[in-house]
Structure 1
Amino acid sequence: MEVKMVAISKSFGTNKVLEGVDFELKSGEIHALMGENGAGKSTLMNILTGLHKRDAGKIYIDGTERYFKNAKEAEEFGLTFIHQEMNTFSNMTVLENMYLNRELKTKFGLLDTKRMAAEALKIFDELHISLALDAQVDTLSVGQQQMLEIAKSLMTNGKVLIMDEPTAALSETEIDNLFKIIRGLKDKGVAIVYISHRMEEIFALCDRITVMRDGISVSLYQISEVDVNQIVHDMVGRDIGDFYPEKNNPIGEVKFEVRNLSSKGGFQDISFSVKEGEILGFSGLMGSGRTEIMRGIFGIDTYDSGDILLNGEKIAIHKPSEAIKKGIGFLTENRKDEGLILDFSLEDNILLPSVDEFSKRGLLEQKTIDDFVELLLKRLTVKAENKEVPASSLSGGNQQKVVLAKWIGIGPQVLILDEPTRGVDVGAKREIYLLMNELAERGVAIIMISSDLPEVMSVSDRIVVVREGQIAGEVVKADASQEKIMNLATGGN
């Protein structure tokens, strides 16, 4: 199936999202679609699959002008869009999610559970993933939910597969398996649109690349004929300098410490410290317990034993509000469900943890609030029409910036960042790194969980490696290598 989109335009109110975008996709090719957050990539694909209606322009499929009324109609025609934010139902089982609205039935009209289970397990086997069919989706990790979404898409035998940041929450092993699947689909003639901010994936996987900037398609290249610098320049309209900015601030005394923290069935005997102005990286395989440790520290989950110290004094944290009062912020990896209230405005989301600071005799000081919110939105270069728009209207990367703004707004002593650059474009990533360095210069102790080894090695002063709920070792930046970290993470020598 071949797709051609010509001069596509789209506005939401007064906000022009697309202005005459051209895009083409050939059968059996993997076509990268890149651009900064808010460039219009997802909107363009939503128009192709019927989720949004275009304002102007034409769409041709196999040479015939064609438009879909909704995503279901597009899927039935052979176009499937795997969105960055999971489209699963958390209170249903894995099997129920796989067959939602396409259940198989026996000749007597009953659900053919046996046949559905057999087909689902066959796809899981192809993907080399292990998911219990009767497991409730809200018990799965973010990475497992992502693999479930991919498995669902493979059931449709589609001719065009659109993937938006498909590897953002996957482990290295899961990524390798996914790439094998994608290449296999390509060999069968399936056309794949691959939206990603990970340059190494684009160059390893894709045939061509279209770059978008500010709602316009600015360039089209064969991957073999372009380099990273040119793509970045096209995306941001300028050279951004060193991708990982240098960190030179002095590191002070121990600010935050955890001693012998344990949670039955989660993690055991966790001890580490982080100093003023230090960025402490946490690395490890998916499911190693990194996130669970931080959720316990912040009071989202409980722990059974151990101590937490801030500035040398033991503190008790049983719920997130207590952590916030102590000046501890936590940017979670799941921004959609835990980081934002999507129906709330940007202002309301940013104010959530710090609203009491702007109250005087029970009344909010609106002028101070306005200045505070505008300052944070400007500092984090959030692309939004204004601070009153709902968080749901923003691109994924801009939503991530709003969550970060929320925690910077509390004036943290300790800031825990779980996958802070997941789904964020290269320009915004560098902005986040610069902001982390700026906070470190102010003496904030930063803990960063990252599955991106180059990132964790380049940004962190020290790296703690977690394996199977325990600390496997610690590496200083000067001695860090991918081999050393992976050996610790996997239990190798």
Structure 2
Amino acid sequence: MSSKATPLWEFVDVSKAYPGVLANDKVCIKLMPGSIHGLLGENGCGKSTLIKTLSGVQQPDSGKILHSGKEVQIADPQDARNRGIATVFQEFSIVPTLSVGENIFLGNMPRSRLGMIDWNKVNADAAAVLEEMEVEISPEAITGRLSVGEQQLVEIASAVAMDAKMIILDEPTAALGESEIERLHQLLRKMRTRGTAILYVSHRLDEVERIVDEVTILRGGRVVRASGETEINVGQIVSAMVGEDIAEHYPKERNSTDQLVLSAKDLKTKAGVHNVSFELFKGEVLGLGGVLGSGRTEIARALFGVDPLLQGEVILNGRPLEVRHEMDAINAGLALVPENRKFDGLFFNFRASGNITAASLGSISRFGVLDLSAEEKGTERLIDELEISAQAEEKTVNFLSGGNQQKIVIARWLFSEAQVLILDEPTQGIDIGAKIAVYKLINALTRAGKSIILISSDHDELLAMSDRIAVVQHGTVERVVAAADLTHNDLVRASADSLESATMEAAQ
């Protein structure tokens, strides 16, 4: 690409301030046609503000926005769409009660000559977009009944359907598995060849390294690395984002012992788990590896009593464990950090203290009345130990960053003194600094003798932080292998085998 080419969109010294915070400080960025541009930085660095400005959600306080070299003002989101900008925000904007086709063309429904919605064209055009994306979802399916990953793909399909010249993707792969990510990347490369400009925001740095052409890194609202300065690699990105060199991206400690803590034998549920067997040892991190929909989360739900067992047994510390519902699991010392912390893990109208004690209210109650001073004492210690923002003690959790929210969910189970923690996508949607904090917390937990079941769609994370990995396909554990004996390619191959088998079964 010629350095003299005119950017499709350009920010020149754009600034935006909120009360007490300078979110964007004279930001300059060039978004070229036919280029995938990575926008990176820790939570709170100013990425969201920049995205909202380009999407017409808010106006800058100063600076210029240029479109093909001419200064413009993006008045509102509709003006942004009219100018060919499509944005897929991290928070879903789909309407769950509508069909996939309706969501893809929401606000721009194909109509007949009489002005009526042409439902046949809605479904046909939606099917064509989904086919181009290599996504097997029916246009007539109700969107709210789809998995989180499938809903994410519908969001992306809506942007693709606009045939936009500029697409902004904010954490587009947070809920996707490895195979879905690869299909999305193939689509983005195809769009790049058509001249589309793509602004790509992601906390998955290995993925950024694979897909982006240029990168801009923000820290404290300022650009600390501009486009095209140096080659893109994870080490340089981490150093620029955090402001210091980090020797290890994954600071893994080996704390596994030969003391058996939990044994699952022939588990089966209505949710698709069948013949699942594995063992978990004291101080061990056992990874569950597999594609989206392979049954990893369903195994976690079975262990925690969310989905009742139809057959099989769980033995904890040498004794059979009868889990009829979640409280049985909690009382036995099990914990679940769910995949979707926003819907399943947090009470957003509570401060940190109320969230942390939610699973153990009996321990801070006297004669059925909460002892608030005991709650404050217990939670203050955990907030300090886990380095959770001091704001967590005064503000409700909806005002906190994703990393702080995740640490609060984990703190809940430390307060309950759980011995076995099931972590389902614990670093999904959080920045690199918060990820490293979670990894160090995993080390501290296993060092203290606790055992971890780790579910992650990030293969590098799973390989680095696990002692052993149970490969999950079609709701069962196919094999358990030492993490050191597996490679990224092994997991990708296992995922491909799972997808191929599923396709063959569906065809029969």
TM-score normalised by structure 1 residue count = 0.92
2:136 is aligned, of 105, 108, 130, to 130
Q: How far apart in 2 are the matches of 1:43 and 1:420?
A: 25
Look up the match of 2:347: 341
| 8 Å contact kept, 1:84–1:165 | yes
1:266 equivalenced with 2:272 (yes/no): yes
| 1:147 Cα offset (Å) | 1.1
Q: How far apart in 1 are the matches of 2:71 and 2:352?
A: 39
Q: How far apart in 1 are the matches of 2:207 and 2:139?
A: 30
Look up the match of 1:358: 364
1:3 is aligned, of 5, 10, 22, to 10
Worse overlay, 316-325 or 154-163: 316-325
> Which deviations, in whole Å up to 9, do the C-alpha atoms of 1:360-402 show, x marking residues without a partner?
3444333443344344344444457443333333343443333
Q: How far apart in 2 are the matches of 1:307 and 1:280?
A: 19
Cα 1:29/1:379, change in 2 over 3 Å: farther
Look up the match of 2:238: 232
Query: Which amino acid in structure 1 is aligned with residue 199 of structure 2?
Result: V
Task: Within 5 Å, give how 1:386-397 maps onto structure 2.
Answer: 386-397=392-403
Look up the match of 2:203: 197
Query: Which amino acid in structure 2 is aligned with residue 176 of structure 1?
Result: E
Look up the match of 2:428: 422
Cα 1:294/1:24, change in 2 over 3 Å: same
| 8 Å contact kept, 2:29–2:227 | no
Task: Within 5 Å, give how 1:98-137 maps onto structure 2.
Answer: 98-137=104-143
2:81 is aligned, of 75, 79, 83, to 75
| 1:453 Cα offset (Å) | 1.8
Aligned residue for 2:433, secondary structure, equals: helix
Aligned residue for 2:418, secondary structure, equals: coil
1:462 equivalenced with 2:468 (yes/no): yes
Q: How far apart in 1 are the matches of 2:428 and 2:243?
A: 22
TM-score normalised by structure 2 residue count = 0.89
Look up the match of 1:248: 254
Aligned residue for 1:267, secondary structure, equals: coil
| 8 Å contact kept, 1:22–1:217 | yes
Worse overlay, 469-478 or 113-122: 469-478
> Which deviations, in whole Å up to 9, do the C-alpha atoms of 1:224-264 show, x marking residues without a partner?
53543222111111112212223132515222222111124
Q: How far apart in 1 are the matches of 2:332 and 2:99?
A: 38
CA RMSD of aligned residues (A): 2.5
Q: How far apart in 1 are the matches of 2:49 and 2:81?
A: 17
Query: Which amino acid in structure 2 is aligned with residue 350 of structure 1?
Result: I
| 8 Å contact kept, 2:57–2:76 | yes
1:41 equivalenced with 2:50 (yes/no): no
Aligned-pair identity (%)? 36
Task: Within 5 Å, give how 1:151-162 maps onto structure 2.
Answer: 151-162=157-168
Q: How far apart in 2 are the matches of 1:340 and 1:334?
A: 9
| 1:55 Cα offset (Å) | 4.5
For this pair of structures, how many residues does the alignment match?
A: 492
Query: Which amino acid in structure 1 is aligned with residue 17 of structure 2?
Result: K
1:148 is aligned, of 136, 146, 154, to 154
Q: How far apart in 1 are the matches of 2:155 and 2:350?
A: 27
> Which deviations, in whole Å up to 9, do the C-alpha atoms of 1:261-299 show, x marking residues without a partner?
112461211111211111101001221111111112222
Query: Which amino acid in structure 1 is aligned with residue 338 of structure 2?
Result: T
| 1:79 Cα offset (Å) | 1.6
Q: How far apart in 2 are the matches of 1:201 and 1:487?
A: 18
Structure 2, unpaired ranges of 5+: 1-7, 502-508
Aligned residue for 1:200, secondary structure, equals: helix
Aligned residue for 1:233, secondary structure, equals: helix
Q: How far apart in 2 are the matches of 1:221 and 1:258?
A: 51
Q: How far apart in 2 are the matches of 1:105 and 1:290?
A: 42
1:92 is aligned, of 93, 98, 104, to 98
Aligned residue for 2:13, secondary structure, equals: strand
Q: How far apart in 1 are the matches of 2:26 and 2:52?
A: 15
Look up the match of 1:61: 67
| 8 Å contact kept, 1:85–1:336 | no
| 1:490 Cα offset (Å) | 4.4
Query: Which amino acid in structure 2 is aligned with residue 233 of structure 1?
Result: S
Query: Which amino acid in structure 1 is aligned with residue 395 of structure 2?
Result: V
1:471 equivalenced with 2:474 (yes/no): no
1:296 is aligned, of 302, 305, 312, to 302
Look up the match of 2:33: 27
Look up the match of 2:186: 180
| 8 Å contact kept, 1:254–1:274 | yes
Q: How far apart in 2 are the matches of 1:246 and 1:35?
A: 23
2:222 is aligned, of 216, 222, 226, to 216
Q: How far apart in 2 are the matches of 1:20 and 1:487?
A: 46
| 1:454 Cα offset (Å) | 1.8
Query: Which amino acid in structure 2 is aligned with residue 300 of structure 1?
Result: V
| 8 Å contact kept, 1:418–1:450 | yes
| 8 Å contact kept, 1:278–1:461 | yes
Query: Which amino acid in structure 2 is aligned with residue 438 of structure 1?
Result: A
| 1:166 Cα offset (Å) | 1.3
Structure 1, unpaired ranges of 5+: none
Q: How far apart in 1 are the matches of 2:396 and 2:194?
A: 41
Look up the match of 1:275: 281
Look up the match of 1:164: 170
Q: How far apart in 2 are the matches of 1:70 and 1:381?
A: 38
Aligned residue for 2:167, secondary structure, equals: strand
> Which deviations, in whole Å up to 9, do the C-alpha atoms of 1:11-42 show, x marking residues without a partner?
2x445544443333222221111111222212
| 1:438 Cα offset (Å) | 0.6
Query: Which amino acid in structure 1 is aligned with residue 437 of structure 2?
Result: E
Q: How far apart in 1 are the matches of 2:141 and 2:20?
A: 44
Worse overlay, 76-85 or 229-238: 76-85
| 8 Å contact kept, 1:282–1:463 | yes
Q: How far apart in 2 are the matches of 1:298 and 1:197?
A: 29
| 1:146 Cα offset (Å) | 1.3
Look up the match of 2:452: 446
Worse overlay, 187-196 or 124-133: 187-196
Query: Which amino acid in structure 1 is aligned with residue 13 of structure 2?
Result: V
Aligned residue for 1:268, secondary structure, equals: coil
> Which deviations, in whole Å up to 9, do the C-alpha atoms of 1:308-350 show, x marking residues without a partner?
2222222222332332222211111122221223344334333
| 8 Å contact kept, 1:276–1:443 | yes
Worse overlay, 97-106 or 127-136: 97-106
Cα 1:456/1:137, change in 2 over 3 Å: same
